[in-house]
Structure 1
Amino acid sequence: MEFHLAVPRLPPALCSNTKGGLHRIMDYIFLLYLNVFLFRSCSASPPNFVLLFADDLGFGDLGCYGHPSSLTPNLDRLAAGGLRFTDFYCTSPVCSPSRASLLTGRYQTRSGVYPGVLYPSSKGGLPLNETTIAEVLKPLGYATAAIGKWHLGVGANGKYLPTRQGFDEYLGIPYSHDMGPCYNLTCFPPDVKCFGLCDVGTVTVPLMHNEIIKQQPVNFLDLERAYSDFATSFISTAVKKNQPFFLYYPSHHTHYPQYAGPGAAWRTSRGKFGDALFEFDTTIGNIMTTLEKTGAINNTLIFFTADNGPELMRMSRGGNAGPLKCGKGTTYEGGMREPAIAFWPGTIKPGVTHEIASTLDILPTIASLSGAKLPQVVLDGVDMTDLLIYQQKSKRETMMFYPTDPSEMYGLFALRLGNYKAHFYTRGATHSGTTPDQACPVFAVLKAHDPPLLFDLEADPSENYPLLLADRPDLQALLERIKKVKEQFEALMVFGESQMLKGEDPNLEPCCNPQCNPKPSCCHC
């Protein structure tokens, strides 16, 4: 059954101040809300959700965001037919904390997924008392699956894996694919080994299905094909069962060192980074084709974004932040402003939005669209439904910027309010080295700013020209408001126990032969 939302126009005559005019306005408002209610309650089935999450992808890396040599036809198609964001943010300039915020709708400081990232031997992980998007949807009967890079902990007996966090199925590597010896990572055809430094002295990278190691070391040349097959099978099965579904695909692409299988290697003019990005894009195309063939495409919200900015220290193999300043590891725009696309044929109109939005907003938006209950905790995200479907103003006016090692002593490094961003502290990062901008490398040590550095991001998204109070005395009131917002936010922020500071235990590293000896070389299957 199809139900079409038909909202009547409000004639100018209804705007009169007469008693009859006011009654007609009330009738119109009632009819509008009745339409919305019927639209949500009479739709054939709850919407499906596909969440695509790239790794270390810069604001300027996609063709639809202006890169001249990236080959991303499927992402470009999503952007052309959907809503493309220009002011979308992750919550951390590194992997694990950013992913925690995405799945919980809460800043990483609340869940304790800080400082830095989790490792194969980490004792901690995303706390089990945190509620993920998958756990929000499960009571409504959703089928849930995750494929790719988890990076929110493994723990003793797999206690932090996706299957313990609301996902029915999982296929992937539970942490970053460079967290293992490089010799098992073949980036291109077998005669070309990966170029770069990876972790040594640890187990080779495992491929897990649910909580069981399926292959160790993983064959990277076949990995994307396995992910694509898993994703398309999951969607097809859910549709056959008439079951709504949530697919979360946090890709390893385009994190360094890049790899690409036979279908993508040497296919682009952008080298290894371009090939890796193209391989990811191809999987997205396969998912789209499956949604179309199964008839689920018009009832599915597809949302794409990335975990943090480009790793500029890798130069041409590290990604591109476009016009934005610095990249991964920093709280400048290049570290945390990301490409983002929302696609839902017949529901989301094609266009571009300059409204502020964040990964924090995805959980409450999915809850609103599905009719799920929100977790009974403090949420930092806002519902984007009106922005996505009706292209109204965003409910988000602010964005908070924490460094990779947040602390109560320093608090926020930066805060965006409307078009203005204030930096209270600035610092470079190893991840953002090699650029000519001296503010980006690790040699740019921590520096406090009082008054804060203030930028107009609409006029100067590159954060090159701080506004001077001497030239603009009218900005003093704005700064006072920003300071008040910062003070109020920090007063209500409760830092969770740090999961990273729980330490590490080599015995927690995933091994397909846990009793073998000597480790880690014996972990092979």
Structure 2
Amino acid sequence: NRMVSGRVAFFGIILLCTCSASPSLTPNLNRLAAEGLRFTDFYSTCPVCSPSRASLLTGRYQTRSGIYPGVLYPGSIGGLPLNDTTIAEVLKPLGYATAVIGKWHLGVGHNGMFLPTKQGFDHFLGIPYSHDMGPCKNLTCFPPDIKCYGLCDISNVVVPLMENEVIKQQPVNFLDLERSYSDFAANFITTSVEKKQPFFLYYPSHHTHYPQYAGIGAAGRSLRGPYGDSLLEFDTSVGHLVETLERTGVINNTLVFFTSDNVPELMRRSRGGIAGPLKCGKSTTYEGGMREPAIAYWPGTIKPGVTCEMTSTLDILPTLARLAGAELPQVMLDGVDMTDILVKQGKSKRETVMFYPVNPSEDYGLFAVRLGKYKAHFYTQGAFHSSTTPDKDCSALRKTHDPPLIFDLEADPCELYPVSEDESDIQSVLQQVKTVKEQFESSMVVQTTKNPKLDCCQEFCKRNL
């Protein structure tokens, strides 16, 4: 263990990540927020799953890894490149036990070559891709026998639950899934503590991604229907994790960080979540598409409060490396260290956030740039995932803005009122934004996409059934 401001840094790290996060009845998450540090200006790097997860685990934009356009499918041959360094691989040289439970969604590949066990994780229990990527019409999502809502992707094989590199169950039993995850997490933490081994647990939950599901303990108990039940079940799992940390005596030596991989899928209406006052949602580069909830909880080290400092999922890897005393990967990182924010509620080292669309290309480059309190849109585009809102911008075709649309996010986080070109200093801001954009894009070596849809994973799943 390393020292931070005279204190033992941490024994354990838990990184919680849920899909399409949205507020509801969540007493355990509320506790983390009340007793921890809540972020108001925290960003993902992409408004869909696989690219944002690649960035979270590597501290690098998805364009550097080739995880684009869109997401990986059961039939995709590619995955997160093995020469990219994950958080788990940063921590393992220091003796950390590493595990991931839940939604991987960063590739399977031939003979499982892109599974978590090939990316620095000692243990994996979960679904290798999104749980809607298989026929789900006849599967039970709620007791006693309520079928999952929708057809999902009927062209794929039924979704498998994997343990390490072996299929444990196919199709997945959604009613027991969260209990399996909670038991696995508790055993992992308990075993690590008994061995006096520091641990890193990455828990990318399937909740509250479509289709929602919940077991007996949560089904019908919320006031928000299936979506609320699903979120309640995830919140209960968070409570179990905290109880395990308390029972094993490492609650004050464990950093728990909660965020989301992307935003609400508004097309699902009441089953998709809401982005509050933020504009649009999933698959767009508006604030509703990429600004995320985030909480850092570490009793005795992180003081309760709220920070409006600009931060990103990119910043998780360099922060954990700094706190653990680990060496950073010898590559260009896009993340910055958040330690001063966490332990001193200080200022962020991040001055900008870059907004790539779901399908980035060198022809268009960045769609938007945030510099300080200002955000400049060079292109805007709606999306099918956000098309049910009354706001026509959320479903509009791509528009080019020259000069770019500029919003003051401190005064107008809803992106409703573009700043006039006549306002004082706005021309200076515009020039700064263009300079930052040009410098960033000149440093970006865009990797060729590794996401063709082939049948390797389907055949792998069939062979291991």
TM-score, length-scaled by structure 1:
0.87
Q: Does the C-alpha gap of structure 1 residues 2 and 256 become closer, same or farther in structure 2, counting only changes over 3 Å?
A: closer
Deviations 1:497-519 (A, max 9, x none): 2111xx222242165552xxxxx
Deviations 1:201-237 (A, max 9, x none): 2110100000000000010000000000000110000
Out of 313, 319, 322, the residue aligned to residue 359 of structure 1 is 313
1:414 Cα offset (Å): 0.3
How many positions carry a matched residue from both structures?
Answer: 465
Q: CA RMSD in A?
A: 1.5
- Indicate conservation of the 8 Å contact 2:10/2:255, yes or no: no
- Indicate conservation of the 8 Å contact 1:90/1:307, yes or no: yes
Alpha-carbon distance between aligned partners in 1 of 2:432 and 2:50, rounded to the nearest angstrom? 32
Alpha-carbon distance between aligned partners in 2 of 1:191 and 1:125, rounded to the nearest angstrom? 35
SS, match of residue 202 in structure 2:
strand
Q: Does the C-alpha gap of structure 1 residues 507 and 491 become closer, same or farther in structure 2, counting only changes over 3 Å?
A: closer
Alpha-carbon distance between aligned partners in 2 of 1:511 and 1:492, rounded to the nearest angstrom? 38
Question: Equivalences for 1:489-508 in 2 at 5 Å?
Answer: 489-500=440-451, 503-508=452-457
**Equivalent residue number for residue 484 of structure 1:** 435
Out of 135, 147, 159, the residue aligned to residue 193 of structure 1 is 147
- Which runs of at least 4 in structure 1 moved beyond 3 Å after TM superposition? 510-513
**Equivalent residue number for residue 17 of structure 2:** 53
Alpha-carbon distance between aligned partners in 2 of 1:466 and 1:309, rounded to the nearest angstrom? 23
**Equivalent residue number for residue 445 of structure 1:** 397
Larger mean CA deviation between 76-85 and 182-191 belongs to 182-191
1:165 Cα offset (Å): 0.2
**Equivalent residue number for residue 90 of structure 2:** 136
SS, match of residue 394 in structure 2:
coil
What amino acid does structure 2 have at the position aligned with 1:229? D
- Indicate conservation of the 8 Å contact 1:206/1:510, yes or no: no
Work out whether 1:96 is the aligned partner of 2:47: no
Alpha-carbon distance between aligned partners in 1 of 2:118 and 2:41, rounded to the nearest angstrom? 33
Deviations 1:220-259 (A, max 9, x none): 0000000000001100000000000000000000101101
Question: Equivalences for 1:372-451 in 2 at 5 Å?
Answer: 372-441=326-395, 444-451=396-403
Out of 246, 252, 255, the residue aligned to residue 200 of structure 2 is 246
Alpha-carbon distance between aligned partners in 2 of 1:138 and 1:492, rounded to the nearest angstrom? 29
Deviations 1:135-182 (A, max 9, x none): 000000000000000000000000000000000000000000000001
1:362 Cα offset (Å): 0.1
- Indicate conservation of the 8 Å contact 2:10/2:254, yes or no: no
Deviations 1:111-136 (A, max 9, x none): 00000000011011000000000000
What amino acid does structure 1 have at the position aligned with 2:200? F
- Indicate conservation of the 8 Å contact 2:112/2:460, yes or no: no
Ranges in structure 1 where 5+ consecutive residues have no aligned partner: 6-35, 63-69, 515-522
Work out whether 1:119 is the aligned partner of 2:68: no
SS, match of residue 91 in structure 1:
coil
What amino acid does structure 1 have at the position aligned with 2:81? P
Q: Percent identity?
A: 70
1:74 Cα offset (Å): 0.4
Higher relative contact order (CA 8 A, sep 6+): 2
What amino acid does structure 1 have at the position aligned with 2:454? D
SS, match of residue 42 in structure 2:
strand
Alpha-carbon distance between aligned partners in 1 of 2:373 and 2:433, rounded to the nearest angstrom? 12
Alpha-carbon distance between aligned partners in 1 of 2:313 and 2:459, rounded to the nearest angstrom? 29
**Equivalent residue number for residue 340 of structure 1:** 294
- Indicate conservation of the 8 Å contact 1:184/1:218, yes or no: no
1:194 Cα offset (Å): 1.5
Question: Equivalences for 1:273-352 in 2 at 5 Å?
Answer: 273-352=227-306
What amino acid does structure 1 have at the position aligned with 2:405? L
Alpha-carbon distance between aligned partners in 2 of 1:416 and 1:251, rounded to the nearest angstrom? 29
- Indicate conservation of the 8 Å contact 1:184/1:204, yes or no: no
1:474 Cα offset (Å): 2.4
Work out whether 1:475 is the aligned partner of 2:397: no
